């Protein structure tokens, strides 16, 4: 952290004089893996706290001047007359001390917060890492190489990669594997990782069977995952109840209050719109963020990998060096490639930007053709319909293909293992499977076979498969397979481990999805109740009160304006209920698109043709 050198020297001398005083903070900084020392961190926290203190003095002066100009305060009589300048000094001192204390507390709490956050991420990634270590160990990959692989793949193992990177760095600096693991076990914020490493050290030191230990820990972690899913389901139930109470029931309550206020002539529509357009979206997003942050979701990204290339220069003609090209033809080829790529490639490979042209062209053309020929709100609705339907179809179809590919992966790995056990190497086994395999993976397997026939390395071909199918299950299984192929020609055990891991992961994910589907039904039912209540209020209460003569108590009700408020609120509830259904029901924000589209369409039809 940034701080003057004299502050760093001061805290360094202080720690040397009494090392135990800041032992807890030192451990927290190491557990958080912050790239700073304890004296530097203490000096930085004090330095920024002093800056905040100066800011507090400035705020106190400005605030005192505002009080003086607004209320005309020149003195305060508390038994003793206090002049304005004394009040100004006291207010500035109090605010500056509050700024100093709050800033220092936040900075000193930061390592503990980071360590606590890292602990949860390490615990969630540890079962996958243990399976990876088991698969690589069965594939005869050296343990230090397996540890380095986990350290290099942060996109797969999150904060656990940082812990394994620490082990790898310590080994490279000259320590043995046992002492490096011991250091990480003592400083890691995760209790699970500490126990795993300590037991691993005992097995490693005592000459025990590392494979048996890893297998036992793998089974243990997967049994614990069952309990975690149960706890997750209970926590999602609480979040769903909070969401329903605050952002579906509460708007209904305020709408009823709004009707009553309008009856007695209170100008409350403006205030209600402020509530609806600010508090409702902000509160919904906060609750949905809590749900999303606790969701057991999967990665759709890919890791970094390098493909070595060798540049070969050769003269093949006596013509002078250089070439000519047509700029027009090159531009035409780029446009042609951009337009044909989504058609020729599999949907799970295509990024959204490539299909955006095809998704936007029909609704834009429809809007331009029918502009001025139909009601504007109906035109906007049908335009959104023309954009929403293909978008939802593309997103859901791509997700369905990914799930089918994941479902076929365990069988593919088992077939590969049985052929490898029969004496065929990976290349020969792939050629046999490509002739019989059917399904989503068949095209990818034929692509791998074709690349192998062209002379590409089998590991490189599998890495390309991992890059094409953006799925966490594929990433972990293919990474394990590639490392096993690099270490040994006999990879049956590694393939069996990868197959079992994929099967268990897919089974648990499907069970979790089935469990969470209940919340989708609850959200749809709650939204239906919301619309029904709005219908009753508009058709019965509002219509009845709108026909009552103006009295001293009741005033005329603007029925059209109130109906617009009801419709605007319903649209907001539809959008955020759709997001909630996607996040709570499937653990993905993009899964909420179909729910948003359906609920918004229902809301429009309801207010356009029913109400």
Q: What is the dihedral of CA 580, 584, 587, 592, to 10 degrees?
A: -30
87 shares its domain with 200: no
* Separation CA 516–CA 286 (nearest Å): 20
Assess whether pLDDT exceeds 80 at residue 203: yes
* Separation CA 568–CA 489 (nearest Å): 64
Residue 559 forms part of a structural domain = yes
271 shares its domain with 399: no
113 shares its domain with 125: no
334 shares its domain with 452: yes
Residue 317 forms part of a structural domain = no
Q: Report which of residues 556 and 151 the model is more confident about.
A: 151
User: Which pLDDT score is estimated for 308?
Assistant: 42
Q: Report which of residues 153 and 200 the model is more confident about.
A: 200
Residue 308 forms part of a structural domain = no
What are the helix (H) ranges across 18-37? 23-31
Residue 474 forms part of a structural domain = no
536 shares its domain with 595: yes
- Domain limits for position 404: 328-469
23 shares its domain with 63: yes
Residue 237 forms part of a structural domain = yes
Boundary residue ending a domain (225, 240, 270): 225
Q: How confident is the model at residue 552 (pLDDT cuts 50, 70, 90)?
A: very low
- Torsion sign across C-alpha atoms 187, 188, 192, 194: negative
220 shares its domain with 239: no
Q: How confident is the model at residue 103 (pLDDT cuts 50, 70, 90)?
A: very high
Which residue, 297, 359, 396, is CA-closest to 598?
Answer: 396
Boundary residue ending a domain (117, 145, 174): 117
Q: How confident is the model at residue 73 (pLDDT cuts 50, 70, 90)?
A: low
Least-confidence region, from 46-50, 183-187, 486-490:
486-490
Q: What is the dihedral of CA 514, 520, 525, 531, to 10 degrees?
A: -170
Mean pLDDT of 244-259: 77
Q: What is the pLDDT of residues 501-516, one digit of tens each?
A: 788 778 877 877 777 7
Boundary residue ending a domain (168, 199, 225): 225
Q: What is the pLDDT of residues 210-249, one digit of tens each?
A: 888 988 888 888 777 767 777 777 777 788 788 888 777 7
450 shares its domain with 551: no
101 shares its domain with 132: no
112 shares its domain with 149: no
25 shares its domain with 73: yes
97 shares its domain with 185: no
Total number of domains constituting the chain: 4
Return the bridge partners of 81, or none.
77
Answer for the pair 156, 475: CB distance below 8 angstroms, yes or no. yes
């Amino acid at each position: 952290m940034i701080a003057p050198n004299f502050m760093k020297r001061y805290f360094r001398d202080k720690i040397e004089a009494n090392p135990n005083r800041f032992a807890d903070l030192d451990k927290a900084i190491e557990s958080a893996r912050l790239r700073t020392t304890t004296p530097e961190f203490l000096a930085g926290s004090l330095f920024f706290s002093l800056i905040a203190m100066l800011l507090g003095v400035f705020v106190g002066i400005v605030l005192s001047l505002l009080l003086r100009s607004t209320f005309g305060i020149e003195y305060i009589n508390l038994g003793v007359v206090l002049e304005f300048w004394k009040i100004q000094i006291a207010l500035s001192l109090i605010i500056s001390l509050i700024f100093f204390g709050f800033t220092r507390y936040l900075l000193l709490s930061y390592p503990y917060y980071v360590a606590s956050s890292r602990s949860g991420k390490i615990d969630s990634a540890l079962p996958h890492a243990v399976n990876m270590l088991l698969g690589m160990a069965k594939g005869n990959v050296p343990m230090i190489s397996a540890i380095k692989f986990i350290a290099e793949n942060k996109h797969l193992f999150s904060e656990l990669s940082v812990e394994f990177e620490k082990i790898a760095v310590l080994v490279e600096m000259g320590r043995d594997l046992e002492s490096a693991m011991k250091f990480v076990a003592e400083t890691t914020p995760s209790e699970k990782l500490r126990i795993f490493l300590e037991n691993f050290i005992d097995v490693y030191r005592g000459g025990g069977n590392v494979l048996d230990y890893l297998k036992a820990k793998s089974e243990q972690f997967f049994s614990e995952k069952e309990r975690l899913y149960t706890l997750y389901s209970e926590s999602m139930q609480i979040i769903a109840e909070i969401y329903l109470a605050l952002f579906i029931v509460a708007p209904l309550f305020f709408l009823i209050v709004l009707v009553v206020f309008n009856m007695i002539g209170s100008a409350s529509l403006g205030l209600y719109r402020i509530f609806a357009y600010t508090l409702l979206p902000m509160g919904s997003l906060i609750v949905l963020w809590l749900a999303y942050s606790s969701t057991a979701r999967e990665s759709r990204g890919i890791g970094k990998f390098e493909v070595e290339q060798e540049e070969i220069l050769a003269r093949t003609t006596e013509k002078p060096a250089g070439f000519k090209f047509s700029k027009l033809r090159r531009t035409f080829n780029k446009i042609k490639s951009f337009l044909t790529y989504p058609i020729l490639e599999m949907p799970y490979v295509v990024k959204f930007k490539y299909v955006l042209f095809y998704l936007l062209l029909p609704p834009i053309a429809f809007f331009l053709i029918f502009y001025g020929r139909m009601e504007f709100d109906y035109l906007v609705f049908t335009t959104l319909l023309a954009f929403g339907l293909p978008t939802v179809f593309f997103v859901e179809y791509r997700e369905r293909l990914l799930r089918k590919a994941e479902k076929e992966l365990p069988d593919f790995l088992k077939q590969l293992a049985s052929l490898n056990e029969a004496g065929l190497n990976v290349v020969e086994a792939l050629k046999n499977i490509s002739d019989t395999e059917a399904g989503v993976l068949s095209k990818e397997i034929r692509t791998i076979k074709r690349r192998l026939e062209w002379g590409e390395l089998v590991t490189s071909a599998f890495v390309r498969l991992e890059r094409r199918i953006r799925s966490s299950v594929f990433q972990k299984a293919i990474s394990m397979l590639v490392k096993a192929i690099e270490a040994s020609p006999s990879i049956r055990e590694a393939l069996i481990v990868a197959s079992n891991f994929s099967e268990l992961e897919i089974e648990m994910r499907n069970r979790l999805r089935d469990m969470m589907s209940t919340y989708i039904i609850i959200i749809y039912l709650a939204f239906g109740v919301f619309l029904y209540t709005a219908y009753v209020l508009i058709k019965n209460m509002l219509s009845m009160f709108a026909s009552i003569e103006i009295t001293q108590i009741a005033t005329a009700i603007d029925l059209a304006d109130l109906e617009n408020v009801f419709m605007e609120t319903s649209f907001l509830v539809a959008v955020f209920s759709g997001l909630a259904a996607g996040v709570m029901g499937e653990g993905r924000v993009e899964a909420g698109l179909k729910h948003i589209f359906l609920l918004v369409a229902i809301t429009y039809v309801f207010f356009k043709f029913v109400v």
